Structure 1
């Protein structure tokens, strides 16, 4: 059953979500923000936003829903493990693998594989998504860190939330980007007419910032490096499309015409992740090489450019 708790706000000026993290350390800040968005948090009986500044003296009540029952079975799926210890496991996720179960997808996910590979995983996101601190789209490959216990999960989630963890991506996009580098800013939210897509929106969006740098130009295509300040759903895909350079073979945001390249899904790869170990506090960087399908595209483009020259 759901559990309701109440706390008295003694300090003024603290954000509502930050206040609740103090009293509910087993919940990540992002989880608390979702509960706030769902109306499960009241301040003196009223719904407030996550960034609401407490005045002091209010009563803050929170309804914590019951964790979803375990419905995911361990599966002996090979994993490309980049690093592992008793607190974290870092995976090079292949393109085509779903991170966690969802409607219609209950097998073959990273969670299924992790449950087989690891004896313990964190359960802060609910048992349906054990260990998952952040995610990659199904057809995005590359570095992804998972937590083996709740202490590690809370620390990693906070690093991602406060931008002390750094993620770098490689993407092949349509068109010749004229600038050497740039910054794309635009709040991202659900597309106003297509609920399966995200978009830059004026209302009800979340701030998103993407830094990009041109690495190679191939006339009709460009290889770029993207660094995230925020981690919104489909962020790189939406932001690059917004400046007229959608990712190659992106089924949601790219051109409708068929792709000339043999690749399943968007040409996007999570190249590296830098973080502080949640227990030892050592700074660590993990890197995953470009997958063969993207390397094949780049080799073909480089050969084509060499012939032109």
Structure 2
């Protein structure tokens, strides 16, 4: 049990707000949870109201229980580590690996693998678990950031929300766009008929803002290698936007054309190529590039040879 003793130095603030300022390593929701659970004393009396206004010289005693174990089993799954320190972990995720346990995928996920790799996680939100800052689809490969601490999780998510962190992808699409670059600014929401899919849906019908910038990297006959940059992070965003403009990602089993290229792809030819972020503690800019997977490289080679012999 970690104990914190404070004397209020700034009055007329709500208890939860004062504590979130005094203890930036804890999220506001975590502090509210501790208050509700009776772990906060104000002037030696348990205070369960987050809205209580604190006064100058008030005494606050806070008990932070050790993180509860997560009901997930660590699994020894190989990880391709691009960078690691005591705050963050940057991985190059392979195709076929689900990021987080969900119905149909209770184990064998990236989270199970991280729990085995980091057995002494301090916990996020009171639970001993890694902080998934952003997700990649099961068959999308590439760079993904994992927070090891609550503070790192807060700050990295804030960067994504503020559009400070940058996520860049490489994808091979069907067809040849007439323009060399462009931006797709169309909201995305659940498909109105197939609830397992996402689609371009108006904001009035539940869609959320989604912005994808794209630029042609290489023309490959009837196919194109495109550099995508995300401004938002909606589920299946690049895949939905690419299909909407008539150029679906090659090998996409949900939004693609279904045409075969005689290249054995695990899923869509989409790779989270580069990740730029500010380190949550040192505040230094960091950039990580994830090498292309073998299947992606093979696909490019096949298409380049086709163009050469045309």
Normalised by the size of structure 2, how large is the TM-score? 0.76
3-state secondary structure, aligned to 1:279: coil
Q: Give the direction of change, closer, same or farther, for the CA distance of 1:114–1:27 in structure 2 (3 Å limit).
A: same
After superposition, the C-alpha distances for 1:259-284 in whole angstroms (9 at most, x for unaligned) are 53210111000001000000000100
- CA change 1:172–1:140 in 2 (3 A) is same
Runs (5+) with no aligned partner, structure 2:
1-11, 14-19, 31-50, 52-66
1:233 Cα deviation from its structure 2 partner? 0.3
| CA shift for structure 1 position 122 | 6.3
CA distance 1:125–1:185, change in 2 (3 Å):
farther
Which residue of the partner structure matches residue 215 of structure 2?
A: 213
> Map of 1:3-18 to 2, 5 A cutoff?
none
Deviations 1:212-251 (A, max 9, x none): 0001111211100000000000000000001000000101
Report the Cα offset of residue 120 of structure 1.
3.7
Confirm or deny that 1:271 pairs with 2:273. yes
RMSD of aligned residue pairs (Cα, Å):
2.6
Q: Which residue of 1 aligns with 2:308?
A: 306
The question of whether the paired residues in 2 share the 8 Å contact of 1:28 and 1:157 is answered with: no
Larger Rg: 2
Q: 1:126 to 1:98 in 2, by over 3 A?
A: farther
Work out whether 1:236 is the aligned partner of 2:238: yes
- Comparing 117-126 and 181-190, the one that deviates more: 117-126
- Report the CA distance between 1:107 and its aligned residue: 1.8
How far apart, in 1, do the equivalents of 2:220 and 2:28 lie? Answer: 43
Q: Are the structure 2 counterparts of residues 98 and 127 from structure 1 closer, same or farther at C-alpha, using a change threshold of 3 Å?
A: farther
- Is the Cα contact below 8 Å between 1:28 and 1:154 reproduced in 2? no
Distance in 2 (CA, whole Å) between partners of 1:280 and 1:24 is 18
Q: Distance in 1 between matches of 2:179 and 2:107?
A: 43
1:57-97 C-alpha deviation (Å, 9 max, x unpaired): xx9xxxxxxx9972210111111100000100100000110
Cα gap change, 1:68/1:269 in structure 2, threshold over 3 Å: closer, same or farther?
farther
Separation of aligned partners in 1, 2:198 and 2:132? 22
Query: Residue 309 of structure 2 aligns to a residue in which SS?
Result: helix
**How big is each residue's C-alpha offset from its partner over 1:160-219, in whole Å with a ceiling of 9 and x where there is no partner?**
111000000000001111110000010000000000000110121110100000011112
TM-score by length of 1: 0.77
**Residues 180 and 22 of structure 1: is their aligned pair in 2 closer, same or farther, counting only changes over 3 Å?**
farther
Contact 1:78-1:113 at 8 Å conserved across structures: yes
1:60-99 map, 5 Å: 70-99=70-99
Counterpart pick for 2:229 among 227, 230, 247: 227
Q: How does 1:54-133 map to 2 (within 5 A)?
A: 70-121=70-121, 123-124=123-124, 127=127, 130-133=130-133
| CA spacing shift, 1:80–1:255, aligned 2, 3 Å | same
Question: 1: distance between equivalents of 2:87 and 2:234?
Answer: 25
Residues 104 and 122 (structure 1), Cα distance of their counterparts in 2 relative to 1, 3 Å cut: farther
Match of 1:149 in 2: 149
Describe the superposition over 1:94-113 as per-residue Cα deviations: whole angstroms up to 9, x where unpaired: 01101011112122111111
* Gapped regions of structure 1 (runs ≥ 5): 1-9, 12-20, 32-58, 60-66
